Amino acid sequence: MRSTALGALARLGALTAADVQAALRDDVAAVRSRAAEVTPVLDGSGDGDDVLLAPLLHDDDPMVVEVAAFASGERTPAEPGIVAALAEVATDHDDALCREAAVAALGALGDPGGLPAILAATSDKPAVRRRAVLALAPFDGHDVDVALRRALTDHDWQVRQAAEDLLDVPPDTGLSSGPDARSPLD
């Protein structure tokens, strides 16, 4: 009920920082998660400046961490200190979905301080690698080029496809990036 109420307040434009702050401290993980999800609605109102998601990146519930990471990448301006907190989740969290969400948020923020964590994520599990390649889009430089070129030969076709798209490189002749990597007639 409290989670639903937060969503309704956000849709009505009646959500306040006090509502979100109380929900971020709720005993129920679903309420904390929903509070993190709606936090970006407060941005630009001046009311949300005191609402901090960084503490939720250390929540015991991975669902809360994942949503807090995602929402952190949607905030404008970015929460102070959030890049370092997201980088820690991206490199050290036990849950791959949390690492993936943190990498996506770092890419969305485009802060150079997050680049080392994104580059490290290009060696993680396939879903995290895919997200890391996409998160490299706002960055440039030698390390980024090396990571994208390496992704062109990844075992996962979606990682290769993401790298091809960013580099604007056509797929290798005879090999497609799609799930049907080779035609049965080849």
Q: What is the pLDDT of residues 138-154, one digit of tens each?
A: 999 999 999 999 999 99
What's the DSSP call for residue 156?
A: S
Q: How far apart are CA 158 and CA 66, in angstroms?
A: 22
What are the residues whose beta carbons fall under 8 Å from the beta carbon of 87, sequence distance 6 or more?
102, 106, 113, 114, 116, 117
Instruction: State the pTM of this model.
Output: 0.86
pLDDT tens digits for 63-119? 999 999 999 999 988 999 999 999 999 999 999 999 999 999 999 999 999 999 999
Is residue 186 pLDDT above 60, yes or no? no
What's the DSSP call for residue 41?
A: G
Of residues 76, 84, 176, 177, the one with CA closest to residue 130: 177
Confidence of residue 184 (pLDDT cuts 50, 70, 90): very low
Mean pLDDT of the chain: 89
Lookup: tokens for 167: 């580099």
Q: What is the pLDDT of residue 43?
A: 73
- Residue written as tokens 């990498």? 103
Of residues 106, 105, 126, 123, the one with CA closest to residue 114: 106
